[in-house]
Amino acid sequence: MTRKNRLGLLLLALAAVCAAAAAAVLLSPEETAEEDTSFPLLELEAEDITQLSWSYGGQTQSFTYDPEDGWSYPADSAFPLDPALLESMADALSQLTAYRAIEGAEDLGQYGLEEPQASVAVALGETEYVLAIGDETAMGGQRYLSLEDGSVYLVDSALLDTFAHDLYDLVAEEEIPAMTHLSAFTVETASRTLELEYLEDSGLAWSGHYVWFRKDGEDTVILDTELTDAFVENITLLYWSECVDYQAQGSALADYGLDEPAAVVTVDYVEVTQEDSGLTDDDGNVIYNTLETPHTFVLEIGDYDGEYCYARIAGSNLVYHIDAGVADAMLYLQAGALLPDDILILDRDTVESVDVTLDGERYHVEKLVEETTDEEGNTTQETVWTLDGEEVDFQSVFTALTGLESTGSEEGLTPERGAEISFTFHRNTDTYQTLTLTFYQYDSANCLVEFNGETRLLADRDSVLDIVEQVNALVLD
């Protein structure tokens, strides 16, 4: 190899070394790290902190800690403080780890530390640490932090989330009770009062399936169970989106429309608990007494605020944002929207006979319950339907009737055409002993349903005609 060639190779090697060195300089600290160099950043215990302050989003919050009294807000002793967030902040500081240190950092601007995302001051008696939290690193997952000691540290990026809170994030929000055993639900607005009652086994309906009722003067209106459950769950499953004021009272309530609420919702419910009776059964098990304690929850709903509305528990100074859909439901739901859309829900065990009217002819179908006992003495019951003394498959007709679904509803409908078919159910009950279900042709696709004297629902005409054919087959057989 000539001297010239050797010199060329040396120059190439030198260029490679220089390029590698330049690349190392250009790489960010996290990109050049190849081994775990993490270390604890602060020497403190969470319980030793006496004061904690932070600035975020243009707001500064400051809280103090006393071992006996716990956390407090010196700016307002009446502030309803929930210390959980402060405790998590203190824990985060006590466990703060630096993954790498950049010593002698002069240009803090390149790390986002001249105007930090957040700053934190934590005191332990006379000792104080001041932290500035800057930008996230290019690779993500870590964030730059300074302690005013001339170095920049890389810490977990989630540290910013720990302190990204304003004052109202620390409010101890009022608990919304678990309202699982309701007895009444009332909505009062400027234009109406909607009174709902929850009653099981009331005899106010032809089926135990119906448990919700609306008061209409002296009358009681049966409501759809699923629809009414969904309506009241707007309140019973309510949650606060956020607290917006913790000292609203007097004239200040007008700022939220709560001086004259748009709606007042009252929920009467029963709290069911178990109490040790002090007695045991024969097996030594504790006997508990069931206690039922009535309670009332009152919610006031005020003005809309974008996708939220203002609300408070009656008499409280705390005002919250709740979903505006809750106000929509309480203010604008029409009572008719809660009416049942079931064609027929009926306990078959209560039916003793059925009169069927078809093409002007009336047919009487009787139900018989036959008991049989096998050789081992086991007794079984079988339901048999008869027409003119002959057994018929009326069970299939009953199944088809209860399987019908409404295709729509409208108030004030009246029959304009003749009846396709009619059923009169005779029952062994104290109330609603006789119920009549009639289907009238309405248009080419629907039949108008009349049940218990009410004409409001529509049913698919083809499905009704299938039932007509079933009954025709029974009659012809």
Same domain, yes or no: 256 and 398: no
Are residues 380 and 471 located together in one domain of the fold? Answer: yes
Strands (E) in 73-225, as ranges, are 97-98, 100-102, 118-124, 127-136, 142-146, 152-156, 182-189, 193-198, 212-216, 219-222
Q: Is 23 a member of any domain?
A: no
What was the pLDDT predicted at 275? 84
Contacts of 128 (CB under 8 A, 6+ apart): 121, 122
Taking the C-alpha atoms of residue 160 and residue 165, their distance in angstroms, rounded to an integer, is 10
Q: Which two tokens stand for residue 295?
A: 């309670």
Question: Do both 196 and 321 map to the same domain?
Answer: yes
Residue 152: which domain range? 30-170
Q: Report yes or no: 243 and 170 within 8 Å, Cβ to Cβ.
A: no
Residues 367 and 424 in one domain: yes
Q: Is 9 part of a structural domain of the chain?
A: no
Task: Looking at the structure, tell me whether residues 186 and 320 fall in a common domain.
Answer: yes
Domain end, chosen from 104, 136, 170, is at 170
Q: Are residues 398 and 377 in the same domain?
A: yes
pLDDT for the residue 448: 96
Each residue of 146-184: pLDDT tens digit? Answer: 998 999 999 999 999 999 999 999 999 999 999 999 999
Residue 264 included in any domain: yes
- Do 263 and 309 share a domain, yes or no? yes
Q: Tell whether 317 and 360 lie within a shared domain.
A: no
End position of a domain, from candidates 144, 170, 196: 170
Task: Please check whether residue 15 lies inside any domain of the structure.
Answer: no
13 part of a folded domain: no
Q: Are residues 326 and 418 in the same domain?
A: no
At residue 66, the pLDDT reads 94
Domain check: are 80 and 161 in the same one? Answer: yes
**Residues 160 and 233 placed together within one structural domain of the fold:** no
Specify if 268 maps to a domain. Answer: yes
CA-wise closest residue to 321 among 251, 250, 238, 261: 238
The secondary structure of the chain in percent helix, strand, coil, rounded to multiples of 5, reads 25, 40, 35
Single out the residue of 193, 327, 179, 343 nearest to residue 267, CA to CA: 179
257 and 196 both lie in a single domain: yes
Task: Decide if 69 contacts 83 (C-beta within 8 A).
Answer: no
Q: Give pLDDT tens digits along the chain (477 positions).
A: 433 343 343 333 434 433 433 334 334 444 444 567 789 999 899 999 999 999 999 999 999 999 999 999 999 999 999 999 999 999 999 999 999 999 988 899 999 999 999 999 999 999 999 999 999 999 888 999 999 899 999 999 999 999 999 999 999 999 999 999 999 999 999 999 999 999 998 889 999 999 999 998 888 999 999 999 999 999 999 999 999 999 999 999 999 999 999 999 999 999 988 888 888 888 889 889 888 899 999 999 999 999 999 999 999 999 999 999 999 999 999 888 999 999 999 998 999 999 999 999 999 999 998 777 777 777 788 889 999 889 999 999 999 999 999 999 888 888 988 899 999 999 999 999 999 999 999 999 999 999 998 999 999 999 999 999 999 998 876
Listed residues 148, 170, 192: the one ending a domain? 170
Does any domain span residue 6? no
Instruction: Classify 337 as helix, strand or coil.
Output: helix
Tokens of 151: 């170095």
Nearest to 423 by CA among 471, 466, 368: 471
Q: Are the beta carbons of 263 and 189 closer than 8 angstroms?
A: yes
Q: Is residue 11 part of a domain?
A: no
Q: Number of folded domains in the chain?
A: 3
Domain CATH code at residue 191: 2.60.40
pLDDT in tens, 45-88: 999 999 999 999 999 999 999 999 999 999 999 999 999 999 99
